[in-house]
Chain A
Amino acid sequence: MQSRPAIIAVGRTKFGEHYEKEPEKLIEEAWLKASEKAGIERRDLEAAYLSDYFLPITNKLGLEEGFLSELTEVHVPMEVTRSFSSALLNACNAIQAGRHNVVLVGGIEKMTDRWDKIRDDLMLLEDPWSYYAGCTPEANHELMLRAYIKKYGINGENLEKLNIGLAQISVKNHLHATKNEYAQFQRKITLEQVLSARKRAQKPLGLYDFAPISDGATALILASEEFAKKFTNKPVYILGSSSATDYLTFPAREDMTHFLVSEMAMKKALEMAGISLWDLQIVELYDQSTVMEMISLEDLGFCERGKAWMNIYESCQDYKGYYEVDGRKLFVNMNGGLKADGNPLGATGGAQIFEVFKQLRGEAGERQVKSDRELKYGCVLELEGFGTKGYVYILGRD
């Protein structure tokens, strides 16, 4: 059996606006938190895999690795990719190939420094023609929702339920975040707030349907299975890891109502982990918008195509802390999701892994899920762009 890369510690900053902090200070904070827990020194690190989307643009920092080297006095190999998940995948590959035994995976983003132009920068994640035609970071989410409604012929009372269901996703994520000390928004919101924001915007989705822009950093220490045991008796293993890629141009994709990449990555990750879908109880989804959370439930296979809104709506009528699908419980975005926890792009995936790690180890405190089954497996979906890249990780413990 292939060796399983093991996460031995995780760390993160609070997400939100850190206008007073240098970007490298954020990653330092995340790394210190992780390393302290694991009792690991920076000189134990054999490599670092980092991620950020925008630092060269938002903060005019190139070769971020060099900054980190200066800060840490560490001269090991470092690589920078765009998302935490892509950094983690490289780290997994290195560990599994036997190249390294212990590495740092870190993600960082500082978006609020350029609040005046960040929405234009976000368009770098979409195709230029859409941008030139007037697309915004929100528009494709709304178009996807329109396409979904049309494809499944949802109207009348059902359309009402779908719209409320989507709003409840946001309400639910905010509720979860009240128990997350690191979350950007640790406050409840009401269904009325979500709906009236939509009304103000005069469109299908409003302010509360979208994740915010955020600053923040996340880090984890990944080690080979053997090596992990020296540091912890509770490692969390990466049992499945996979990614897929689709066209940058959303309108050119064959099906505008789901993300091919999520579906493909999930299929492979499950195969790799050798578990079945419903062995998973806890899932961190990439809810850049409420639509993305709904679609992802279908893409990953938890809900039937065209039906997720119904499961969500029904589960949220009297929300018990999980979605119920055919009598089965699914704990989704326990940290508050991107919506309430925050979405500092390059660091976001780290917060998702952080959550599943904590939950699987039973260290999630107030937000620890109460499951009638033993909590053994969790899953993370991270996307880059509007479904252009998808990464799925399946985490598990012994």
Chain B
Amino acid sequence: MSSEPIERRVSYLGDRLRGRRCQICGKEYFEIKDYCGNCGRKSFGKMVDMDLFYEKGKLEVCTFVNEPTNKFTKLGSYIYGIVSFHNGKIRVPGRLTDRIMKDNGETDFSALEGRYVVPRFRRRHSVDRRDVIPTISLAFTFADEYYPHQEYTVVKPNKEYDVPGIVGYGVYTSKFRIREGNIERSVPYIDEDAITAAVEAGKLALIHSGVDSSLVGKIYVGSESNPYAVKPIASKVAQVLKLGEEDEDMQGVDAVDAEFACKAATSMFKDAASLVNYPKSNIQYAMVIGTDNSQAAPRDCPGGELDLFVGFGGCAYIFGKHDVIAEIEGWYSCTSDTPDFWRRDGEPYPMHGGRFTGDPAYFKHIRKAAKKMIERLNLQVGDINYFVAHQPNVQFPVKIAKELGFKEEQYLPSLQVAKFGNTYSGSSPVGLAAVLDIAKPDERILIVSYGSGAGSDAYLLITTSQILDKRQRQKLTVKYQAENSFLEYVDYTTYRRLKLGM
């Protein structure tokens, strides 16, 4: 139970589905209770925390809501019900999300009841544009549908590397797509945004890496569709994912947002890697997330040409020196003040420099960064197994890959834009994830991001044998998300409505 003003200040209770269990009698509460209702005074100090956030619940009973209360009208109609955890020991209210209800309804509740569900981190309800955005994890999807339930098990690290690298990653996209021509783009459900995608991606990265979340000492969240002009996203991610040592209601973690158009996240890879490598930082792991609900004006408006390419998704990487799956061999970044894409403060949609965004912007920077990177490490294009470039559309990355001398088998595995659209800060990171999903040990990957404004970051990575060990924990691979049988295609009107959000 919590009141509205308190909720605004301590929002993570519902975000994380926090509760307490009495160690004496085992009674559980969806509430931070200091003592047990059964055991009374003797249970003080014997109540242990639980987060239902990573768990699987069961939809006990449900009903259909087609006349929601005012704050939920933008959701349209939805299924609302009661979800139990731990064999019915604890019950919480919840709604099913990621469900566009059909006009003819879905009234066979008994077909839904009794099924397992997974909590999803979503926007809670509509608020005024001036207000803090409330979030919640009392939104569920079925555990046997698009997002299968995955346990989060902390794995004790067994090998320390000389150089830092990637220890885990997670990709999060929605189950909705719009298909136009030969390109499919991911579309958020109406209760999703860059914040919710960041949390979900971070959650998946923790699951994949097996890293203890309390050992993550720094989190960078890169986005250009932050719903706030002022207020970090990273603080929300840190608190919900319980990063760093938790002390009272604070997390012992440094959290910061980054912004540099589509390279906001990749720019921070080197910072994260350096941080975990600095002996006195006491930071074992650092997380970098690129997340965007890529914005575009409607097609007939200025800037509307972007509406053909924008996607939605988040991608999270954890860097460290233990149980590394891909070591960082080196990096190179370049920057120039090139105004090819921008969004002024207070404007809802970005503007775009048209043809100007090709040669003097995208190609120039990627070419420079890629060549310098290869040169610095004295490599040949043939020494590199996979090439990952920023993917604003299908043509650009193919053109630059060919120009640099890469063959199809080197660049095609990373080319994901035709499946998800341009996920902006998550664009090249998703490409990298697609490669990490399939790479064998001792393979070299060159990733070159591009951010308008403009700049590129190039990284050379080399995979280790542990990439195979951890792969079994990566269920939501990029391929799985691209080819999932639960994908749902929406028309243009629905796409705009969903993208605009609550």
A residues contacting B by CB (< 8 A) are 116-117, 119-120, 123, 127-139, 142-143, 146-147, 150, 201-204, 248-252, 256
Contact = CB atoms under 8 A, between A and B. Distances in A.
B82 A129 contact: no
A245 to B, nearest CB: 13
A133 B94 CA distance: 5
B69 A123 contact: yes
Interface string B54-95: 000000111111111111100100101110000000111111
A117 B61 contact: no
B395 interface: no
Contact of B136 (A123, A132, A135, A203): A132
Contact of A132 (B29, B65, B109, B125): B125
A146 B113 contact: yes
Contacts of B95: 133-134
A132 B92 CA distance: 11
B92 A127 contact: no
A133 B80 contact: yes
Contacts of A128: 1-4, 7
A129 B63 contact: no
B21 interface: no
B113 A203 contact: no
Contact of A134 (B7, B29, B72): B72
Nearest to A137: B69
Given A128-B1, A204-B63, A135 B7 contact: no
Contacts of A135: 69, 80, 93
Contact of B61 (A119, A131, A150, A252): A150
Nearest to A146: B61
B70 A202 contact: no
B82 A143 contact: yes
8 contacts: A116-B70, A119-B67, A129-B30, A132-B14, A132-B125, A136-B67, A139-B65, A203-B107
B50 to A, nearest CB: 15
B138 A129 contact: yes
Given A128-B1, A249-B1, A252-B91, A134 B30 contact: no
Q: Which residue, of B7, B66, B69, B107, has the highest number of chain A Cβ atoms within 10 A?
A: B69
Contacts of B134: 132
Given A120-B70, A142-B63, A147-B61, A129 B92 contact: yes
A22 to B, nearest CB: 26
Q: Give the dominant DSSP class at A's interface.
A: helix
Contacts of B68: 134, 136
Contacts of B93: 127, 129-130, 133, 135, 249-251
B80 A146 contact: no
B124 interface: yes
Contact of A143 (B63, B70, B78, B107): B63
A131 B69 contact: yes
Given A129-B92, A252-B91, A256-B82, A136 B65 contact: yes
A203 B139 CA distance: 20
Contacts of A146: 61-63, 109, 113
B105 interface: yes
Contacts of B60: 147
A297 to B, nearest CB: 21
A360 B7 CA distance: 50
Contacts of B78: 134
A370 B61 CA distance: 42
Nearest to B28: A252
Nearest to A126: B93
A-B CB proximity, top 7 nearest:
A202-B105, A142-B63, A146-B61, A133-B138, A134-B95, A251-B91, A130-B93
Contacts of A138: 67
Contacts of B92: 129, 133, 251
A134 B75 contact: yes
A134 B107 contact: no
Contacts of B61: 143, 146-147, 150, 256
Contact of B64 (A116, A117, A119, A202): A202
Contacts of A251: 82, 91-93
A133 B75 CA distance: 12
B80 A119 contact: no
B63 A203 contact: yes
A134 B126 CA distance: 11
B71 A120 contact: yes
Nearest to A202: B105
Contacts of B3: 128
A117 B73 CA distance: 12
A249 B30 CA distance: 10
A143 B81 contact: yes
A136 B7 CA distance: 20
B65 A134 contact: yes
A340 to B, nearest CB: 21
A140 to B, nearest CB: 9
Contact of A201 (B2, B66, B69, B72): B66
Contacts of B136: 132-133
A129 B66 contact: no
A147 B29 CA distance: 21
B361 to A, nearest CB: 44
Contacts of A137: 69
Contacts of A142: 63
Contacts of B63: 139, 142-143, 146, 203-204
A290 to B, nearest CB: 15
Interface string B250-273: 000000000000000000000000
A129 to B, nearest CB: 6
Nearest to A142: B63
A117 B70 contact: yes
B80 A129 contact: no
Contacts of A248: 1
Nearest to B72: A134
B80 A136 contact: yes
Contacts of A201: 64, 66
A116 B125 CA distance: 17
A128 B138 CA distance: 12
Nearest to A134: B95
Nearest to B102: A202
A146 B59 CA distance: 12
Contacts of B81: 143
A191 to B, nearest CB: 19
A130 B107 CA distance: 21
B69 A119 contact: yes
A138 B77 CA distance: 14
A134 B113 contact: no
Contacts of A147: 60-61, 82
A162 to B, nearest CB: 14
A127 B1 contact: yes
A68 to B, nearest CB: 29
Given A133-B139, A134-B65, 10 more contacts: A120-B69, A132-B136, A133-B95, A134-B68, A134-B78, A136-B67, A146-B113, A201-B66, A202-B105, A256-B82
A203 B81 CA distance: 13
A201 B77 CA distance: 11
Interface in B403-418: none
Nearest to A252: B91
A116 B70 CA distance: 8
B2 A129 contact: yes
A130 B2 CA distance: 11
Contacts of B139: 133
Contacts of B66: 201-203
Nearest to A141: B63
A133 B134 CA distance: 11
Nearest to B140: A133
